[in-house]
A and B are shown apart, each in its own frame.
Chain A
Amino acid sequence: MQAPANKKKSRVSYAKWGYIFIAPFFVTFLIFQLIPLGQTIYYSFFEYYRSGLKIIGPKFVGLANYAKLFQADLLSYFSNTMIMWLIGFIPQIIVSLLLAVWFTDNRLKLRFQPFFKTVIYMPNLIMASAFSMLFFALFSDNGPVNSALVNAGIFGEPFRFLSNVWGTRGLVGLMNFLMWFGNTTILLMAAVMGIDLSLFEAAEIDGCTPSQTFWQITMPLIRPILIYVLITSLIGGLQMFDVPQVLTNGKGSPNRCATTMVMYLNNHLYSKNFGMAGAVSVIMFIVCAILCVVVTKTLDKDDRKV
């Protein structure tokens, strides 16, 4: 009678260990991501804020928060974000492509490559807020950049970068460019190095000019990575926060032209307005989700073509 029981025991299931091993991730994900996500969406339908030391709400108000957002300047904050992202991204992609092609070109054989690669990646190692503080000091009204420009006779009097719409946006773009072009260069180099060398050799034998090689061979073959770079940068750009926040001392000035979506979100969060902050987050979530779908679709299409 005891034998079958023994047999049963010997057929131990190891599956549970699998679940136990992956459990920590799911538990953390649940506690720190999924529940807060659900809460954010939930509270976006409520009037819920702090008035002095008194807590107002939560009171269900339906879509009132969303209605208020679209009446407010949400679109202008979205366009601020996109404009500052573009100011940084366009030079970033051009310079990165150029550097990636140069670094990988077998005929150029650039010397001191590891040195340059380290140097261009360096700005990314600095904390964004520290980098921003540095620029704030460098470009302040009586900062070193202004004294240099005045001493060199380029400007008659200091140029007040941070009191000028395009000065401020330009600085934010410049910082994002400096921080990210090294990273993009390395990604694109990996892409270029993945191309079969015989293709370049064949092109050379057929008498292609370097620019023809670039446009006809390199570009089409690194397209998936280019799209990946574009989308990750776009999502990162949408979440732009620390650089403009620190540079403008949280004000997004002048004329709120440097107020990004996340800074706007932070303004609401700062006054403990959880309802409105929730609504802004949900909108950002939807925009990011749409972008992700767009990437997946584009990459899928690409695969089918190949």
Chain B
Amino acid sequence: MKKGMSLLLVLALALSLLTSVAMAEEGKVLNIWCWNDEFQSRFNAYYPGVAEIAEDKTTTTLTDGTVVKWTINPNENNNYQNKLDEALLAQETAAADDKIDIFLIEADYALKYVDSPYTLDVKADIGLTDEQLAGQYKYTQDIASIDGVLKGVTWQATPGLFAYRRSIAKDVLGTDDPVAVQEALADWDKFDAVAEQAAAKGYKMLSGYDDSYRTFSNNVSAPWVDGTSVKVDANIMKWVEQTKNYTDKGYNNKSSLWSDVWAKDQGPDGKVFGFFYSTWGINFTLMGNSLADPNAAAEVGNGIFGDYAVCEGPQPYYWGGTWICAATGTDNVATIKDVMEKLTVDPAIAKQITVDTQDYTNCVAAMDELANSDFQSAFLGGQNHIALFAKAAPMIDMSNISAYDQGCNENFQAAFKDYFDGVVDIDTAKANFETAIMEKYPELTEVIWP
């Protein structure tokens, strides 16, 4: 008994020594890589350990003295991925304070990093438990798992909806009630019919070519790439057909995603019926674009704040989503664990983020609570859009994602833009896509068309 006690004591001592060594080794710099300031603003606003934010926002100091260094590289044209790859390949030789500790990944290329030795196991290496993770949406974990090992967690779920202008819906359909509008847009045939009505009144149904893209590309039957061949899904060709039709009939404004025409169409001078947007798009992008004066307060009276409402649209889909990954070689495991716990697991913080920013967070219980409450979004004219998201989120199926999605989606949209513009015929557009995708991913050998 005595012997057992002393053994235990020794063990406990040794353990505490070990942990204190581990604590002492915790790095003083936390390097976070991302592609825009979305996570940065969430982190600065909602992570309880934040003590001070630098004026230029390049660093955030935590209460324990750790300095968070933000590295932000734009996403387009695989730019973020390329920069990140360089840094990860040099991770082993980098000095401890230069090593990447956390990097963010997007759904379109999540698999590339999840299926690599550069990400740590969230449960085994970082220490989050199954009980903690049980409250998240299942799909958000499926997408970041490989062979049952979870490699990343997210604070948001990204079901997509159709955001429409209330004033235009009233003019075209005679109502702006989300239920009635949804009734009118319930499938693609009805959607086309409304597009025709809208066009007759001088409105555009969609802003541009890529707006409805995700509703088609998310409902495909197989991933983009199989082995070394790109397989274009029949559903994506349906998008081509629909968009060409809309363009020829003048149902869209010929814009491209993220272009200035597209952004302007969402603002006070826009004549566009609606936009397909997922959670982050509504509170982050659409609201920003809807304001007449982006520097003034976001409230009714500034631009068309309050003139949007959301409905499910013709087809369920999702768009985007950002996952937090811990990089192999990090010296800040304890801090990363705390960040992941606070931002992606803590129900109180999740609820607060949604209440404040209207983003849809990754906590089933908190979201269901808000969905069933009298929560109102002022931006959406008092609608409780969380209820719609909560209905759509469990339907998300990300089983058809591949590591090539960003390149395939961007190049496909770019190649067919020429076709919609009437610059090339459909066969040339196809050939241009083949050239571009094989340039971007040299390992791909062929493109199979449906």
Residue numbers of A with Cβ under 8 A of B are 49-53, 56, 72-73, 140-142, 160, 163-165, 249-251, 253-256, 267-268, 270-273, 276
A-B contact count (CB 8 A): 77
Contacting pair A255 B418 (CB below 8 A) = yes
A53-B116 Cα distance, complex, nearest whole Å: 8
State whether the Cβ of B417 lies closer than 8 Å to any Cβ in chain A: yes
A147-B441 Cα distance, complex, nearest whole Å: 40
Residue of A with least CB distance to B404: A52
Residue of A with least CB distance to B421: A163
Contacting pair A255 B435 (CB below 8 A) = no
Contacting pair A49 B442 (CB below 8 A) = yes
Contacting pair A253 B82 (CB below 8 A) = no
State whether the Cβ of B245 lies closer than 8 Å to any Cβ in chain A: no
For A56, what are the chain B residues with a Cβ–Cβ distance below 8 Å? Answer: 442-443
Contacting pair B418 A254 (CB below 8 A) = yes
Query: What string of 1s and 0s marks CB contacts (under 8 Å) between B421-450 and chain A?
Result: 101100010001001000111110000000
Contacting pair A251 B414 (CB below 8 A) = yes
A26-B89 Cα distance, complex, nearest whole Å: 32
Query: Which of B78, B255, B259, B261 is within 8 Å of A270, CB to CB?
Result: B78
State whether the Cβ of B241 lies closer than 8 Å to any Cβ in chain A: no
A254-B255 Cα distance, complex, nearest whole Å: 14
For B417, what are the chain A residues with a Cβ–Cβ distance below 8 Å? Answer: 163, 253-254
18 contacts between A and B (CB under 8 A): A49-B442, A53-B85, A53-B116, A72-B435, A73-B435, A141-B254, A160-B421, A163-B423, A250-B77, A253-B417, A255-B424, A256-B435, A267-B439, A267-B440, A271-B442, A273-B439, A273-B442, A276-B442
Query: What string of 1s and 0s marks CB contacts (under 8 Å) between B248-277 and chain A?
Result: 000000110001110010000000000000
CB distance from B84 to the nearest CB of A (A): 9
Contacting pair A142 B442 (CB below 8 A) = no
Query: Which of A160, A253, A271 is within 8 Å of B440, CB to CB?
Result: A271
Contacting pair B423 A49 (CB below 8 A) = no
A249-B82 Cα distance, complex, nearest whole Å: 17
For A141, what are the chain B residues with a Cβ–Cβ distance below 8 Å? Answer: 254-255, 259, 261
A52-B403 Cα distance, complex, nearest whole Å: 8
CB distance from A57 to the nearest CB of B (A): 10
Query: Which of B118, B254, B439 is within 8 Å of A160, CB to CB?
Result: B254
For B414, what are the chain A residues with a Cβ–Cβ distance below 8 Å? Answer: 251, 253
Query: Which of A49, A53, A250, A270 is within 8 Å of B443, CB to CB?
Result: A49
Query: Which of A53, A255, A268, A273 is within 8 Å of B118, CB to CB?
Result: A53
Query: Which of A53, A251, A254, A267 is within 8 Å of B88, CB to CB?
Result: A53
Task: Count chain B residues whose beta carbon lies closer than 8 angstroms to a beta carbon of A.
Answer: 32
A268-B441 Cα distance, complex, nearest whole Å: 9
For A249, what are the chain B residues with a Cβ–Cβ distance below 8 Å? Answer: 76-77
Residue of A with least CB distance to B255: A141
Given A53-B112, A255-B432, does the pair A271, B421 have CB atoms closer than 8 Å? no
A72-B431 Cα distance, complex, nearest whole Å: 11
Contacting pair B423 A254 (CB below 8 A) = yes
For A49, what are the chain B residues with a Cβ–Cβ distance below 8 Å? Answer: 442-443
Most buried by A among B260, B261, B264, B442: B442
Contacting pair B439 A268 (CB below 8 A) = yes
A268-B76 Cα distance, complex, nearest whole Å: 16
Contacting pair A255 B428 (CB below 8 A) = yes
A165-B418 Cα distance, complex, nearest whole Å: 10
A249-B259 Cα distance, complex, nearest whole Å: 11
For A72, what are the chain B residues with a Cβ–Cβ distance below 8 Å? Answer: 435
Query: What string of 1s and 0s marks CB contacts (under 8 Å) between B267-291 and chain A?
Result: 0000000000000000000000000
Given A51-B442, A163-B421, output 5 extra A-B contacts at Cβ < 8 Å. A52-B403, A56-B442, A160-B254, A270-B77, A272-B82
Query: Which of B113, B259, B423, B439 is within 8 Å of A165, CB to CB?
Result: B423
A278-B259 Cα distance, complex, nearest whole Å: 34
A92-B208 Cα distance, complex, nearest whole Å: 38
B103-136 with Cβ < 8 A to chain A: 112-113, 116, 118
A141-B89 Cα distance, complex, nearest whole Å: 41
A72-B434 Cα distance, complex, nearest whole Å: 11
For B421, what are the chain A residues with a Cβ–Cβ distance below 8 Å? Answer: 160, 163-164, 254
Contacting pair B82 A164 (CB below 8 A) = no
For A253, what are the chain B residues with a Cβ–Cβ distance below 8 Å? Answer: 414, 417-418
CB distance from B240 to the nearest CB of A (A): 16
For A165, what are the chain B residues with a Cβ–Cβ distance below 8 Å? Answer: 423
CB distance from B437 to the nearest CB of A (A): 10
CB distance from B387 to the nearest CB of A (A): 36
For A164, what are the chain B residues with a Cβ–Cβ distance below 8 Å? Answer: 421, 423
Cβ-closest 8 pairs across A and B: A254-B423, A49-B442, A163-B421, A51-B443, A254-B418, A273-B442, A267-B439, A255-B424
